[in-house]
């Protein structure tokens, strides 16, 4: 019989969750526990409990030391050693994915807060702009509004790009 290979990893996109669930999953990644996150149910099956990113980092380091010690002693069978190493490499990959996923969730939370605030700012900016610019006519007000919109969009895209590339 062929062994079933499963990969431990995130299979979630922050854009698909409601705001309260987004915050709950972000908190689970940071502190609470990774086994409660959709896509990481395999951790429960392996009886692995990980409390946040720091707990995952500690588990990876602990497994690394155990693998080194057991390989030096030679008391563990080669199949058991290969199973441990497979789990270790998957958890190491999960650690890298966790940091990227945490950044993605934080960006999505900030984006969802920034959009409504920016709409209010544009309203309070455009209202006086429409009252003040009387001599130039509506064309000047419209042009200024478009310029402000393009500047805002440029900064928003630049900020999103920088935050994704920060790590």
What is the tens place of the pLDDT at every residue in 9-50? 666 788 888 888 888 888 888 887 777 777 777 777 777 778
pTM as predicted = 0.70
Residue 59 CB neighbours (<10 A): 19
User: Residue 1: what pLDDT?
Assistant: 36
User: Residue 132: what pLDDT?
Assistant: 66
| 114, 153 contact by CB (below 8 A) | no
Residue 75 DSSP SS3: coil
CA 165 – CA 142 distance, rounded (Å): 35
Place of tokens 């950044």: 103
| 44, 35 contact by CB (below 8 A) | yes
User: Residue 166: what pLDDT?
Assistant: 63
What is the tens place of the pLDDT at every residue in 42-99? 777 777 778 888 888 888 898 888 888 888 887 778 888 888 888 888 888 888 888 8
């Amino acid at each position: 019989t062929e062994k079933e290979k499963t990969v431990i990893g995130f299979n979630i996109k922050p854009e698909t969750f409601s705001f309260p669930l987004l915050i709950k999953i972000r908190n689970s990644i940071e502190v609470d526990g990774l086994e409660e996150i959709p896509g990481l149910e395999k951790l429960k099956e392996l009886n692995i409990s990980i409390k946040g990113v720091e707990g995952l980092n500690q588990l990876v380091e602990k497994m690394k030391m155990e693998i080194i010690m057991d390989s030096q002693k030679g008391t563990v069978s080669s199949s058991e050693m290969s199973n441990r190493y497979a789990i270790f490499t998957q958890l190491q990959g999960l650690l890298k994915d966790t940091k990227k996923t945490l950044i993605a969730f934080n960006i999505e939370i900030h984006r969802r807060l920034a959009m409504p605030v920016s709409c209010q700012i544009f309203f309070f900016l455009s209202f006086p702009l429409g009252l003040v610019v009387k001599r130039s006519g509506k064309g000047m007000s419209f042009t200024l509004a478009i310029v402000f919109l393009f500047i805002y969009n440029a900064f928003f895209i630049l900020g999103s790009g920088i935050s994704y590339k920060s790590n």
